[in-house]
Structure 1
Amino acid sequence: MTYADIIVDISHEKLDKSFQYLVPQQLEEQIQVGMVVQIPFGRGNHVRKGYVVGLSSKLKVDGSCIKSIVSIENDQETIESRLIALAGWMKEHYGSTMIQALKTVLPIQKKVKAQEKRWITLSISREEGEKLLEELKKTRFKARIRLLEALLGENGGRIEASLALKELGTTVSVLKYFTENKVVTVESDQIYRNAVYDAEKIPHLAPDTLSDPQKKAVEQILAEWQKPAPRPVLLHGVTGSGKTQVYMELIDQVIRQGRQAIVLIPEIALTYQTVRRFYGRFGDKVSVINSRLSQGERYDQFKRAKQGELQVMVGPRSALFTPFGNLGLIIIDEEHESSYKSENSPRYHARETAIYRAKMEGANVILGSATPSMEAYYRAGTGEYALVKLEARYEERPLPQVSIVDMREQLKKGNRSALSMELKGALGQCLAKGEQAMLFLNRRGYAGFVSCRSCGHVMKCPHCDVSLSEHNGRKLICHYCGYETAKPDRCPVCSSPYIGGFKAGTQQIQQVVEKEFPEARVLRMDYDTTRAKGSYEEILEAFSQHRADILIGTQMIVKGHDFPDVTLVGVIAADLSLNADDYRSGERTFQLLTQAVGRSGRGKKEGHALIQTYSPDHYSIQTASRQDYEEFYEEEMGYRILMDYPPSAHMMAVLGASEDEAVLEAAMHYLRLFVDKLHSGKALHVIGPAPAPVGKVKDIYRRVIYLKHENYDLLVRIKDRLEEYIEINSGFRKVNIQFDFL
């Protein structure tokens, strides 16, 4: 006999477990993991939908109580079952419950009432209608006369019910009279909510003429696709090289084959321009998914995709799980972005998950970036990914001229403003020419690191090569190993008293700019100004239509936007990301600065960028100013190898959280001892337990253990053993443990 482990109704947390059912003999040859089935559930044996997550020949429950599967939902095997199988892979690789993984890949569970448009249609001949109208005109039923006249008029015998109600005064009794006498019929059409902002205003765009480098890139990618086992393709193109045009050409090829494409973008802010370009090229076969949509809008987009009415879905990480039945291509634009990594369990990475889904469905994957992640470029170097390059801007436009401003010198000259004298001068010239500027503040709000404003020295951990973070009580703490020291009153290098964190935010920068340039029209784009639905689109549309001269913002303004009139970009504080308490801080800084600089000079006018920093000689800033990725990669890779950080080794974090600090400390201590017992080899490097980057949130204490090893599968095996250990030990019941592969 065959038994199936089935999860029931993933919309309820209390059902976060599987139930065993008997597979009827007639279904044994058909049943597979991932299938959707109908099962009797509960005391009333109501038939419910379930998901098969395991098959076994061993009975786990009382045989007298086991129930049988009713049927298999064959119509959902090709799409939903593959997503369920993907959830199973995510559970195993990222450490979560199956129900958490299912909720991630099947996000729309609650059916939303469809929108409808009702039509009143004349069901008798025109001659019969005119005869009836003559008879009605002899009566006092004015509403009946108006409706029949409208149907016999220029409406072609059909009129929208809402229009008849508002303009003709049609009532229920009028419709009842006509329908009972079979004069008209009332029909309903389902209307899907359009998630594309101002779709009706987007003009149709003819395909762009590809440059010779773009044509070569397309040919190289298509050649890779013809191989028996095509690899993911890393498209490394400098800012402004026209990667999106390459994407659209490849999507066109996929659509011609009757297949669909998913385009992932890292920020909601990017949807405005990206979707307009794709919608202009492919029309209403394009839609978008993001967190700002209503539940009804999201439901409609997934339903349209499942029914084959869409061919291209654009959106952030969650769009990866669009239920396309014949998926042919997944594009991850700006693949280096950290937003592709989930912060909730399962802590999956869209890059690896996309590659696995593509492998399951016979699709291809393209990873695009001007500043590829270290992991992606490393894999391209080993041959795991195919590497295709675009080394020049579209139409051979020059890269912007970049200047580095040493803010230490500004302080010596008595300028304590957030804007350097050079940036003020450049802004004045830009405004005088009627051109546009963007001012990028590297991180919103207050930075946790502590540095000297006179010499630029940053307080770092002596053991982990990351900056120390400032905590209450003037303590500086390392979030990797727990090292702690007191915050100094003076710089240990130059004895300057100007020591502390950078406290200026976007609002303060806006005030400075408006005071310095009162005639300038200034827009601000950050978390506070983009909370409302449609706010991203409104701000970006206003700036693109030149209704503002200066756009001030955080990271969301420097990723992928294309404004041809922007000739100046100012980076207010490069050091905020450079000195974050993260081993990737150098990489993040290089990527952000390169992307920011790349927003300038994308039209026919030459661009200029200024980078303000207290660390002008740092390799991340120097290489970003030259847009030299290869030089940065070689320098950064040396540090990664030295410290056993990815991609030279794999790294897993064991994250613990509890309301009881003492219980949490004990639990993490025992996990560390168990890890040491599991693998005592020198190749495994274990750090911690240590405080998490934010050690306490809403009265929940948090700790972390880091494990580093060159073998990824070894870390997965350790994760599996830790999960078993946690499951059988009651001491972990008050502790939430999650796993994260970094």
Structure 2
Amino acid sequence: MFADVIIDISVKSLDRPFQYIVPEEMEFDVDIGSVVKIPFGMGNRTMTGYVVGLSGEAKFDISKTKSILEIIKQGVVVESHLLSLAYWIKENYGSTMNDAIKSVMPVKREIKEQIKRVIYPAVSMDKMREKRDEFEKKHNKARVRLLDEFLKLDKTAYNAGLDYSYATKKLSLTASVIEGLRKLDIITVDAIQQYRNPIGNIDERPEVRPVLNREQKHTVDSILNDYIRDVRGTYLIHGITGSGKTEVYMNIVEKVICLGKQVIVLIPEISLTFQMVNRFYKRFGNRISVMHSRLSAGERFDQYTRAKNGEIDVMIGPRSALFTPFQNLGLIVIDEEHDSSYQSEMPPKYHAREVAIQRAKMVGASVVLGSATPSVDSYYKAMQGEYRLFELNERAGNAVYPSVYIEDLREELKAKNYSIFSRRLDELMRDRLEKKEQIMLFLNRRGFAGFVSCRQCGEVLGCPHCSVALKPHSVNGRVSYLMCHYCGYKIQMPDKCPSCGSLYISSFGIGTQQVEQMVKKRFPQADVLRMDADTTTGKNAHENILKEYSKGGADILIGTQMIVKGHDFANVTLVGILAADLSLNSGDYRAAEKTFQLTTQACGRAGRADKPGEVVIQTYQPEHYSIVYAAKNDYKNFYEQEIVTRQMLQYPPISNILGVLVLSENERNADNLAQILADKMKLYQDVTVLGPAPAALSKVKDVYRRMIYGKCADYGILCSIKNSFEEFMHETESFRDCRLNFEFNLI
């Protein structure tokens, strides 16, 4: 038998399988996905590899073919379909096969199993009492202590056994004493694998199961009717905030599990894990588990093992949970499907939504996408009939959508209000503090200090060719020039606003820590919590902050986007969005979409129970359609206006974009290679080329970075360009110090 093995090195020249002989004694243990030790190279250095194929035919001279040294048995073997999925990721997103495998690999290193040893009685209680008396006569005190411990128990506990470590530590018994009793057939000792528990303290209050309203029931029934008829599809649930999407998911999941299938539920943020797990645990008990980056390596290993062994039915977690090695996967649910965290930022730069749909096709599963603010890409596909669309337009229970106010910060400046709090927000905050109701202050830091605007008229300096904000670049600590990182357009930093002539022009940005200080100074009577990247570094930091706020431990919660995604706090009646403009001018063609989504999600945190809610949106651009429609909770009109812009500029989902990042420690080589590749791209018909231009981060750790973008309606053509560039880099000798990263529809 021969095995094709991918070597565990992410180098393009080695990104192909090498054939090895499978020794006869290993033939029954090797499988697709096995992790193996192999001799590699002229020096036969021992390397780790992954088996990606098995056959009975030699591809090369057998006398020169090396043998596998060892199969690493501990660890979870990658299923063959997950390896196929890794290959699909490599082909569609551009990466090495090794990097793609590492994305789907459940375990990256050997983990020590936790074993619990239990001592069980091998005789009846009467017989044990008889033996105990014999040992007492012989003054075998240690043996008597153990048998006395058993004889103190009732019949049920007697048969359940004693913990081995309890016997050795609390009863001061040695291993030889226990072994002696085992040899006398009085006891037996069993080793049981123990799983590390990644689920923290669960709310023990019983579940109050809500009755589905008409829209929820129609959605559940329609999707399940398809499922029962063996129709597998992709479904998009567009439900306003508070419409009960999670309850819809749970009803669908419940039926799929009853049919003997397993389910993956993806959520965008670790901060949502606690709330989602609580709800699922009450419904499904310990047949659920979680997977996220804050778990220890041992906890992750155990959950993957449980999933592979069929000991859990539902895996909940962010993007990486998508690769749970379920043997009988029947459904993938992606909550808040619009969220940018589903896009991988490291090669391969895959999107979890697209990979989930591909995995579902491979194993015959369905995919349910849900959001109050669906991505334009998903809604477009629903409009084209590629996904089946369901609408939930009613809030669950008696909750009503909050009243929303748009406050023009230009008017605040005219009124000599230089605070970050508009007059209306200040007044409403004081009102809520008096009423002992809670407040959330949302600061969207995406695009932090990423644009230049005028405080007098609200004008944002943008690229005339790409419809995005220009990015400021500093020289000697001062903003010197502005640049578009799509096409390379560049201007000097103006001294005054080109629109109104005001001197109030500068880069825009403020941090959550500054906001916290200002809140404490202005409202000293308030208890304040802050939730951002700095305050959530600990393993349970998200959960602890949310628990504290949920039980009323703070009046005001200040945070970045992680506080506005899916959380449900009954006493929150006021949400303040301090600077909607931060995301609106992030230099991204999706800026309006992201602003609409985050603003709408933030609005949805207020008034989710029986108390009415209010929202204050503070902005320098109150007339922008993303702000206007977010305040009205009007997704359809926002989508219609946004899709027209995408059509005009040929941005996704109308067209596709391939981004090619050139990296080199030699600036001249980076520039030359980027220009050569841009020229090659221009040879393809129907491809619009932007760049080359310096990347948003033009130099990192002494590595120069240059970007080229190609726009084309045909995704296949862009994949062909990616493949031709990879081939060019493999064959050329001139740019050995350069490397390429690819990204599709990601800027």
Superposition deviation, residue 207 in structure 1:
3.7
Superposition deviation, residue 219 in structure 1:
1.8
| Letter matched to residue 81 of structure 1 | S
Superposition deviation, residue 10 in structure 1:
7.3
For 1:525-540, what aligned pairs fall within 5 Å after superposition?
Answer: 525-540=531-546
Q: Secondary structure at the match of 2:548?
A: helix
| Letter matched to residue 342 of structure 2 | Y
Q: Could you tell me which residue of structure 1 aligns to residue 557 of structure 2?
A: 551
- Hey, what's the Cα distance between the residues in 2 that align with 1:543 and 1:628? 30
1:33, 1:85 within 8 Å by CA — same for their partners in 2? no
- Hey, what's the Cα distance between the residues in 2 that align with 1:76 and 1:132? 44
1:7, 1:53 within 8 Å by CA — same for their partners in 2? no
Q: Could you tell me which residue of structure 2 aligns to residue 87 of structure 1?
A: 86
| Letter matched to residue 118 of structure 2 | W
Q: Could you tell me which residue of structure 2 aligns to residue 326 of structure 1?
A: 328
For 1:296-445, what aligned pairs fall within 5 Å after superposition?
Answer: 296-395=298-397, 397-443=399-445
Q: Tell me whether 1:610 sits opposite 2:612 in the alignment.
A: no
For 1:61-100, what aligned pairs fall within 5 Å after superposition?
Answer: 61-62=60-61, 64-66=63-65, 80-100=79-99
Q: Could you tell me which residue of structure 2 aligns to residue 188 of structure 1?
A: 191
- The more displaced of 657-666 and 118-127 is 118-127
2:75, 2:110 within 8 Å by CA — same for their partners in 1? no
1:449, 1:501 within 8 Å by CA — same for their partners in 2? yes
Tell me, which stretches of 5 or more residues in structure 2 are unaligned? none
- Hey, what's the Cα distance between the residues in 2 that align with 1:415 and 1:45? 69
Q: Could you tell me which residue of structure 2 aligns to residue 599 of structure 1?
A: 605
After superposition, the C-alpha distances for 1:371-412 in whole angstroms (9 at most, x for unaligned) are 111110111111011111101111252111100011111111
1:567, 1:601 within 8 Å by CA — same for their partners in 2? yes
2:76, 2:107 within 8 Å by CA — same for their partners in 1? no
- Hey, what's the Cα distance between the residues in 2 that align with 1:126 and 1:205? 42
- The more displaced of 45-54 and 167-176 is 45-54
| Letter matched to residue 405 of structure 2 | S
| Letter matched to residue 575 of structure 2 | V
After superposition, the C-alpha distances for 1:74-131 in whole angstroms (9 at most, x for unaligned) are 9999971010011111111111111111111113132311112222223333233323
For 1:328-727, what aligned pairs fall within 5 Å after superposition?
Answer: 328-395=330-397, 397-443=399-445, 446-473=448-475, 474-677=480-683, 679=684, 681=685, 683-727=686-730
- Hey, what's the Cα distance between the residues in 2 that align with 1:165 and 1:664? 65
- Hey, what's the Cα distance between the residues in 2 that align with 1:18 and 1:24? 18
2:75, 2:111 within 8 Å by CA — same for their partners in 1? no
Superposition deviation, residue 171 in structure 1:
3.1
Q: Could you tell me which residue of structure 2 aligns to residue 285 of structure 1?
A: 287
Superposition deviation, residue 196 in structure 1:
1.1
- The more displaced of 138-147 and 520-529 is 138-147
- Hey, what's the Cα distance between the residues in 1 that align with 2:238 and 2:62? 59
CA shift in 2, pair 1:540/1:509, >3 Å: same
Superposition deviation, residue 136 in structure 1:
4.2
CA shift in 2, pair 1:690/1:347, >3 Å: same
Q: Could you tell me which residue of structure 2 aligns to residue 736 of structure 1?
A: 739
Q: Could you tell me which residue of structure 2 aligns to residue 222 of structure 1?
A: 224
- Hey, what's the Cα distance between the residues in 1 that align with 2:531 and 2:75? 42
CA shift in 2, pair 1:236/1:122, >3 Å: same
CA shift in 2, pair 1:464/1:4, >3 Å: same
- Hey, what's the Cα distance between the residues in 1 that align with 2:234 and 2:403? 33
CA shift in 2, pair 1:77/1:322, >3 Å: closer
Q: Could you tell me which residue of structure 2 aligns to residue 108 of structure 1?
A: 107
2:10, 2:96 within 8 Å by CA — same for their partners in 1? no
Q: Secondary structure at the match of 2:158?
A: coil
- Hey, what's the Cα distance between the residues in 1 that align with 2:723 and 2:11? 26
2:266, 2:334 within 8 Å by CA — same for their partners in 1? yes
Superposition deviation, residue 653 in structure 1:
0.5
Considering only aligned residues, what root-mean-square deviation do their CA atoms show, in Å? 3.1
After superposition, the C-alpha distances for 1:241-270 in whole angstroms (9 at most, x for unaligned) are 000000000000100000000001111111
| Letter matched to residue 402 of structure 2 | P
- Hey, what's the Cα distance between the residues in 2 that align with 1:44 and 1:738? 30
- Hey, what's the Cα distance between the residues in 1 that align with 2:211 and 2:284? 16
Equivalent pairs, count: 733
After superposition, the C-alpha distances for 1:155-180 in whole angstroms (9 at most, x for unaligned) are 41622122233432233343344334
The normalised TM-score by structure 2 is: 0.92
1:221, 1:388 within 8 Å by CA — same for their partners in 2? no
Identity %: 49
Q: Could you tell me which residue of structure 2 aligns to residue 51 of structure 1?
A: 51
Tell me, which stretches of 5 or more residues in structure 1 are unaligned? none
CA shift in 2, pair 1:498/1:140, >3 Å: farther
Q: Secondary structure at the match of 2:734?
A: helix
- The more displaced of 299-308 and 422-431 is 422-431
- The more displaced of 530-539 and 217-226 is 217-226
